[in-house]
Structure formats: structure tokens, C-alpha cells
Amino acid sequence: MDMTTDTALAPLEFAVTRNPAAKTAAERAALLADPVFGTVFTDHMVQLTWTAGEGWHDAVVRPYGALSLEPAAAVLHYGQEIFEGIKAYRHADGSIHTFRPDQNGHRLQRSAHRLALPQLPVEHFIQSLRELIEVDGAWVPGGDDRSLYLRPFMFASEPFLGVRPANQVEFLVIASPVGAYFKGGAKPVSIWLSEDYARAGKGGTGAAKTGGNYAASLLPQAEAYEQGCDQVVFLDADGNVEELGGMNIVFVRKDGTLVTPDSDSILEGITRLSLLQLAKDRGHAVEQRPVTLAEWREGVASGDIVEAFACGTAAVVAPIGTLKGHDFTDAQPLGELALSLREELTDIQYGRREDKHGWLVRLDA
Ligand SMILES: *Cc1c(COP(=O)(O)O)cnc(C)c1O
């Protein structure tokens, strides 16, 4: 695997074109009042182009708006696409920070490797976030549980219907202000067990953050809604618990041990990584290993599992209240740990608590 180490890389030169139709401060304030996740976008976006001949070039910040794409663009046919999700948080002193962007940058590189897309140096990934905040920093809302969700993504733009890795690729960053994911606090979610559909297979793309995994999850997610559930949990072919398709899953045992599935078809969440670190700091044991559905259900029945929660950047932590399958409904025990870890993590992200691990990176300076 070719992971660049990115030592002393020269920054990219960005050409900045201001949006002549940028929202006024009053319009922006109205949009920031109560944003629905993923529906409102800031005034600008970042775009870089890669070609096999020139590498990454044409770095621009330009008005947010429609792309011009040939109908033959490879991504529209074969789905050669990857993305990231990361937030910018406003602290009480007005400064703007993001959380572990090096982790997202390296994960984008791993996803790129799997989807045969070019590597974007991590330094350039982080620079792209800074460039966008430089022009759209006013869009980072203040206040608890509010943030600017940044969506970096990369796709094959080459107009070519042959099947091979594209020779022209775009990398963009767009941004969308978001409020609390759960209105009125983190209510326990109900989970539908997908017994008929998988999201990923052995040797597939499950560990890459790629749109195709989400496409495969939409039908089972629709099934979950029909069953009155909020989310889906997927199993692998051997009956091991994988994840929710957009959030990782963690179990808490009676003795305080946290257990989370290990598999090469799970997307390795940075929220999970960070929550597990905070739990270790508190003295909890952490195990990353395969977890069968039987272990989960029997653990709940016997009282060995005292809590289960889902986690990811968008929702942070969601306690699991119910697991439902075709022929069973298991109420899940609710504990204190999920919400207490959630509070500790968000306190760090919003600058309300000491950042002992050096996870925050300031974006506006
Ligand atoms: C993004 C994502 C997650 C959560 O990752 P975070 O880095 O914690 O946001 C979990 N599962 C899938 C499939 C994802 O795409």
C-alpha cells in the first residue's frame, strides 16, 4: 500500500473566486437557526483536479454550485467514489477547531487505495479544510451540539466507459451547518437486524468509505423503517455483528469491558476509536474481536451485556434501545456509560474540557 508520509510537503496554491451571490449575514443567520442535516450548504467549495499526467492541480475555492460533468463520467457508471465526514466546532472564544483531521486524511488514503483512486497527501487534505473555513468560517454555528459538517469527497470524472481506474479525478470539499442530530437529547434507537441483506463481504469494499456501501444499505434501511425501526445492523456471512452501515457498534459488559467487532469489512470510525481511548483512560478494558449475534443476544439475556451503543461523527453516540429481527424483539438494557463518554468527547470537541490527547486542530488561524 502506498501511504505517503507527507513530510514537509509544499502547500497547494489555491485560486480563490468569491461568490458574488454569497448570503448576507441576516440570510445566513436564518439558515443557521435550525438546519436540517445535509440540506443547507455554505457559499463556497474547494475543488482539486487530478490527472494521470499532472497529478493534483487546479486547486480552487469557488462559489458552491452545480458541477459540469460529462454523461460518460466514469463515476456515474461504475461508482468509483469515496468520501469523508468531519466537523468544525466553534469554541466559546469564537475560534474554530476540527477533530483528528489526520485520521480522516489517512482514512481517505486507505479508501482511495481500495477504490483505485489517487492518493491525496494528508497535508493537502487538511489544507483544503482550512481554505474552506477561511472563506466560510462565519458558517460555523456557535452553541451546544451545533457544528459545520465538512464533506470531502473524490470521484472519477474522466469521460470513459471502459472499466479501469480513471485518469481524471476530482476532489471537493463542501460544507453544511448542522444542529443536534437528535432533537431533545440522545433517545435510544431501535435497530432492525438485516437477515436478508449484507452491506459488505469478505474482500469487498466494507472498510472503505465509498458510496456503493451506502447504496447497498438503502433497501435494508427501508425495511427497517417498515418494521418501525430507526437503523439497521448488518452481519457478516459467518453471523458476526458488523456495524450499522453508517455507525459502529460497541457493547458494554457487566465488568466494564467495552467490546467492539473486529472485521476487515467494517469502516473504522474515528468516533469509535476516540471513545474507546477515553474509556481506556478511565481504566476500562477494551476488546476488539469478532462478536456473534448469539453472543449479543445471550449476553443481554444473561445480564452480561449491560449496554450497547452506536457511534459516528454525525450522531456522536446513540444508545441502542431495541434489537428486532424477523422473529424476535429484544429490549436492550440502558446504562450510563454511553452518554457519559458522549459528554466527555463533545466537551473536548467544543473546548469545554482539556484536550489531553492533542486531538483538536485549529482551522481559523
Ligand atoms: C463514516 C462511517 C462510520 C463512522 O465513522 P466516524 O469516523 O466515526 O464518523 C461508520 N460506518 C460507516 C459505514 C461509515 O461510513
Which ligand 1 atom minimizes the distance to the CA of 247?
Answer: 10
Which stretches within 88-155 are classed as H helix? Answer: 101-114, 122-136
How far, in Å, is the centroid of ligand 1 from the Cα of 199?
Answer: 13
pLDDT along the chain (365 residues), means of 10: 62 97 97 91 98 97 97 98 98 98 98 98 98 98 93 98 97 95 80 94 95 96 96 93 95 98 95 98 98 97 98 95 97 95 97 98 95
E strands, the chain, are 15-16, 44-51, 55-63, 81-83, 86-90, 96-99, 147-156, 168-178, 189-194, 231-234, 248-253, 258-260, 286-288, 305-312, 316-325, 328-331, 360-362
State the distance from the centre of ligand 1 to the C-alpha of 157, rounded, in angstroms: 25
Distance CA 27, CA 82 (A): 32
Cell numbers for 231, please give them. Answer: 437503523
What pLDDT score was predicted for residue 184? Answer: 65
All structural domains of the chain with their residue ranges: 15-179, 189-348
Give the closest residue to 152 by CA, choosing from 84, 86, 91.
84
Superfamily grouping for domain 189-348 = D-amino Acid Aminotransferase, subunit A, domain 2 (3.20.10.10)
| CATH topology match: 15-179 vs 189-348 | no
Q: Residue 1: its pLDDT value, please? A: 47
The closest residue, in CA terms, to atom 1 on ligand 1 is: 246
Task: Give me the pLDDT at residue 181, please.
Answer: 79
Residue 105 burial by Cβ neighbours in a 10 Å radius (0-12, 13-18, 19+) = buried
Q: What is the pLDDT of residue 66?
A: 97
Distance from the alpha carbon of residue 161 to the mean position of ligand 1, in angstroms: 30
Task: Please give the distance, rounded to the nearest whole angstrom, from the Cα atom of residue 25 to the centre of ligand 1.
Answer: 33
Beta bridge pairs of residue 68: none
Q: What is the pLDDT of residue 9?
A: 87
pLDDT at 35: 87
Pick from 214, 247, 341 the residue to mutate for probing ligand 1's pocket: most ligand atoms within 8 Å of its CB: 247
pLDDT value of residue 5: 55
- CATH (residue range 15-179): 3.30.470.10
